[in-house]
Amino acid sequence: MEDLLLLAQASASTTFIQTLIKALALGSVYIMMGLGFVIIFKGTQVLNFAASALSMAGAMFMSILIADGGIPFLPFDNPLAPGDGETAGIPLWLLTIAITMVLAALFGLVIERLAIRPMIGQPLFAMAVITLGVEIAIRPFNIDATALEGRSLGVPWGAESWSLGDALVPKSYVAAIIMALIAGAIVIVFYRSRFGVAMRAVAFDQEAAMAQGINVARVFQIAWALGVALAALAGIAYGMAPFPPGGSVSQEIHPVLAFRVLPVIVLGGLDSVLGVLFGGFAIALAEVFAGQYLSQYGSTLGPGYSTIVPYVVMLIVLVVRPFGLFGTPEIRRV
Amino acid sequence: MKRMRWLIALVAVFSLFAAACGSDGDSSSDGGGDGGDTTDDTSSSGDDGDDGAMEEGGEVATDFGVDAENKVIRVGVNGDLTGPFAALVNEIVTGQEVYWEVFNENGGYKGWTVEMETLDSGYATDVGIQNYETLAQESEEGVLMITENTGSPITAAIAEDAADDNMLVIPLSWASLWPDPEFGATILEKQATYCVESINGVEWLSTQVDDPKLAILGRPGEYGEDGSAGAKIAAEELGIEIVYDGTGAVAGDDRTGVIAELTGSGANIVWTTLTPGELLDIFGNAVSQGFEATWSGNTPSFSYPVMMPSDFAAEFDKYYFQSAFNAPWGAPGTEVIVEEMTARRPDLNISDGYTVGWIEGIMAETLITAAIDAGDMTRENMVALATSGLEVDFMGLSAPQSWPNDYNDALVRSTWIFDVDAEAFNIIPMGEATPENPGSSGLIPLEQDYIGTVAADYVFDGPCIEPSS
């Protein structure tokens, strides 16, 4: 009897560890995506509804570079790509991620120049709708690139796990957590830099910032470049097994990633980096732990109940703190 | 910051919208019931001025979807070319396109050729209904029959209108509803149903392990419920314990709960009725948590173009067996398909999907040529021919089939079982294939035309599921 009890406890702790790691990894993906939202919002006051398509496009760039051995939009081979049937080593794979983020940043600059900048001075609502248009415009590229097959991301460790006692810890989950922590640290440092301060000044009052000699157009460019690069990073991280796409870019799964992140930025605050860091982990913990530990009530709670949990949290926060836990409250003159 | 309040509200609204969209419910539209045009005037009109066509001394009566003057027959496809099943459907549609190309280049039949009109539903029921109305219009712009209609929800939504319009529809769906004359009067189920496929699949799985304990995973909607229903029939008939019944439980973007229930169930065989993305997520996470079982599932839970490039290809090889309705690329019986597809689409990759398109073409050609021979190519006569006991021979690609007005007699009870072989997987352009390197989808037939003991004798009261309203 005592042995059975010990076995049950061991099994419970194994499940807890695996659930915790999964939640932290999913939260890390949310954070990377959420940081992309926040940077663009802080710099331009625009909510980027094109984030899903941009994220998936970024993951596609990675797949083209590492698995196809090509270069996105260009008829050249990628000289750094591994040979046919070979898998990239970790250093090369990380270098390819960096190249992908640069390409995604350039893509962000193009979008900013073509779709966003002409809208400067227009109502913010119109600019948000423009980003919806960008989402729709990019989708055909993503669909054409993935419709007929899953696209490998060439993750060097594939679906391998480490053993932690009886618990299996996927290497990709640990990688996602590290990627998010690095991305968060870089963004925090960036906002403390001279340019980051300028970006915050533009977000606060564009005209006053211009009067102080800040180049607002440059701020817009940088915000979009960074935001799209982070979205691409999130798309790559989310593609790693055992995240749902299983090591590939998925037409079925990637397109909804950004929507899953919206509760994160509402919880943390649209303009708060710390809010995203907190919100990403909090939402993912709520979602994954509810999924794991309420599963026996699934027939009562309804299919897919854990997907709803983030939105329930979001609604509660909206009622209590409409600007999110870390967002800047709106000040009104009455 | 002054405008943040509305932005927050906008985000909230969008989030809720996204949650609703992401819930994956197969909500069949209830708007298709009486939305069609009045179609009581589709009777044969062979004596109308320009409706008849002279052919070798015989006149062929026509009404809609036929250009009698130029002897061109229009057939329609209402396919998911950009939605969740696009990977499979695009290849199937291409297979059918080539089928008609070959047919036409060989002179058609008694001078009649076939033209294909393809519309994309994106697997959205409302779009599928609109497409149906476009294809069913009562003019030459309409089509004689729909040679492919993707998905159970869309097929269910148009079934009643199709019956009213005398429109034959070949569904790209194997719901057990279609052989029911009460429901799918003009829906020509091809091959076995999901329900029969599940019965065979679970029986076969149960022979692969000792003391089988079954877990069932199904998405909401006709497809998921039908497959799960068949799995339960097999379990009941064979005395297999169901340790987790996840019928309709696979919904939403987070599947942690289902994975938790599955991995904790003690199952050693798993039957799935999912989309490829859902299977990849659940299978990958379960395997990553050390869960070991023998898996299989309804077509198209497993899609080799999606699974094989993933990082779980080796695990699928080890644990998964694919159930299917017909021969894969390169199997005996597919020689003509391989030859014609390679000659006409050398740049496209080899695919098992072409066979399905070819089968649709064979069905349609059999009916069309019979109608030409009968001198009556009206939609009404097409329906009459289809239900007259006319048998279609698929030349080994799939079991022969006819559509008598009896549920049990109309059922095909055989399916195929494939082994997943990650080493053999080698998708190459058809034009680059050689005898030494023919390419492979990595699916190796283990059982051809497999009929388990349960499926062979089971007497169905009717469909395994109720149509959703």
| 3-state SS string for B79-109 | ECCCCCCHHHHHHHHHHHHHHHHHHHHCCCE
Query: Å from A103 to nearest chain B CA?
Result: 24
More confident residue, A304 or A275: A275
* Spatial contact of B344 and B171, defined as CB atoms under 8 Å apart: no
Among the partner residues B4, B16, B258, nearest to A270 by beta-carbon distance: B4
Q: Which of B6, B253, B309 faces A256 most closely, judged by CB atoms?
A: B253
What tokens were used for A303?
A: 């299919």
Q: What are phi and psi of A134, to 5 degrees?
A: -60, -40
What span, in angstroms and rounded, lies between the C-alpha atoms of B21 and B82?
16
Give A102 to chain B, closest Cα distance, Å. Answer: 25
Question: What does the pLDDT read at residue B278?
Answer: 93
Phi and psi at B119, nearest 5°, equal -120, 150
Q: What is the DSSP letter of B429?
A: B
Whether residue B60 contacts residue B53, with contact meaning beta carbons closer than 8 Å, is answered with yes
d(CA B281, CA B259): 9
Which chain A residue lies closest to B281 (C-alpha atoms)?
A244
Which residues in chain B are closer than 8 Å to A242, comparing Cβ atoms? 284-285, 287-288, 312
The Cα–Cα gap between B288 and A39 comes to: 34
Asked if the Cβ–Cβ distance from A147 to B82 is below 8 Å, we say: yes
Residue of chain B whose Cα is closest to the Cα of A162:
B288
User: Which residue is it, tokens 């990709």?
Assistant: A172
**Distances in whole angstroms, Cα of residue B131 to Cα of each of B52, B120, B233:** 28, 8, 36
Per the CB < 8 Å rule, is B281 touching A327? no
Q: Are B43 and B354 in contact (CB under 8 A)?
A: no
Yes or no: say if B273 and B298 are a contact pair by the CB < 8 Å rule: yes
* Contact present, A204 and A272 (Cβ < 8 Å): no
- ipTM here: 0.87
* Cβ–Cβ under 8 Å, residues B320 and B280: no
pLDDT for residue B253? 83
Nearest to B300 by CA among B156, B95, B120, B85: B85
The whole-model pTM stands at 0.84
Q: Could you give the CA distance from residue B434 to residue B108 in angstroms, rounded to a whole number?
A: 30
**Triad B149, B155, B161: Cα angle to 5°:** 105
Q: Do B261 and A298 touch (CB under 8 A)?
A: yes
Beta carbons of B429 and B396 less than 8 angstroms apart: no
Contact between A149 and B306 using a beta-carbon 8 Å cutoff = yes
DSSP string spanning A268-308?
Answer: H-TT-HHHHHHHHHHHHHHHHHHHHHSGGGHHHH-TTHHHH
Distance CA A148, CA A82 (A): 23
Number of H helices, E strands in chain B: 15, 15
CB B254 within 8 A of CB A302: no
Could you tell me which chain B residue has the CA closest to the CA of A288? B256
Residue B299 in tokens: 């077509």
Distance from CA of A259 to the nearest CA of B (A): 6
- For residues B323 and A249, give the distance between their C-alpha atoms in angstroms, rounded to a whole number: 25
Secondary structure (3-state) at B49: coil
User: B306: which chain A residues are within 8 Å (Cβ-Cβ)?
Assistant: 149-150, 248, 250, 252
- Kindly report the nearest CA distance between residue A140 and chain B, in angstroms: 9
Give the Cα separation of B122 and B99 in Å (integer): 23
Question: Count of A–B CB contacts within 8 Å?
Answer: 216
Amino acid at A235: G
- Contact residues, chain B, for A204 at CB < 8 Å: 1
**What secondary structure does DSSP assign to A134-197, as a single string?**
HHHHHHHHHHHHHTTS-EE---TTTT-EEEETTEEEEHHHHHHHHHHHHHHHHHHHHHHSHHHH
Q: Is B409 exposed, middle or buried (0-12, 13-18, 19+ CB in 10 A)?
A: exposed
- pLDDT, position B18: 45
* All domains in chain B, ordered by first residue: 53-192+335-402 (3.40.50.2300), 194-324+439-457 (3.40.50.2300)
Give residues with Cβ within 8 angstroms of B384, minimum separation 6.
Answer: none
Whole-number Å distance between alpha carbons of B150 and B427: 25
Q: Which residues of B touch A330 (CB under 8 A)?
A: 1-2, 4-5
Instruction: Indicate the length of chain B as a whole number.
Output: 469
Q: How far is it, in rounded angstroms, from Cα B170 to Cα B365?
A: 12
DSSP percent split of chain A into helix, strand, coil, nearest 5: 70, 5, 25
What DSSP designation does A119 have?
G
Domain locations in chain A as residue ranges: 17-254
Residue B30's pLDDT is what? 32
Name chain A contacts of B284, Cβ cutoff 8 Å.
159, 241-242, 244, 246
Name which of B90, B251, B310 is nearest A150 (Cβ-Cβ).
Answer: B310
Are the Cβ atoms of A303 and B84 closer than 8 angstroms?
no
Q: What pLDDT was estimated at residue B243?
A: 97
Cα(A328)–Cα(B335) distance, integer angstroms: 68
Q: What is the mean pLDDT of the segment spanning A5-26?
A: 86
pLDDT of B346: 96
Mutation site, A87, A289, A307, A320, interface B, largest B CB count within 10 A: A307
Short-list B134, B107, B104, B129, CA closest to B118: B134
Q: For B259, name the nearest residue in chain A, comparing CA atoms only.
A: A292
CB contact under 8 A, A124 and B3: yes
What average pLDDT does the structure give for chain A? 89
Q: For residue A104, name the pLDDT band (cuts at 50, 70, 90).
A: very high
pLDDT at A333 over 70: no
Cβ of A292 and B23 within 8 Å?
Answer: no
Choose among A47, A147, A252: nearest Cβ to B277.
A252
For the beta carbon of residue B138, count every other beta carbon within 10 angstroms: 16
The reply to whether residue B250 touches residue A303, judged by beta carbons under 8 angstroms, is yes
| pLDDT < 70 positions in chain B | 1-58, 468-469
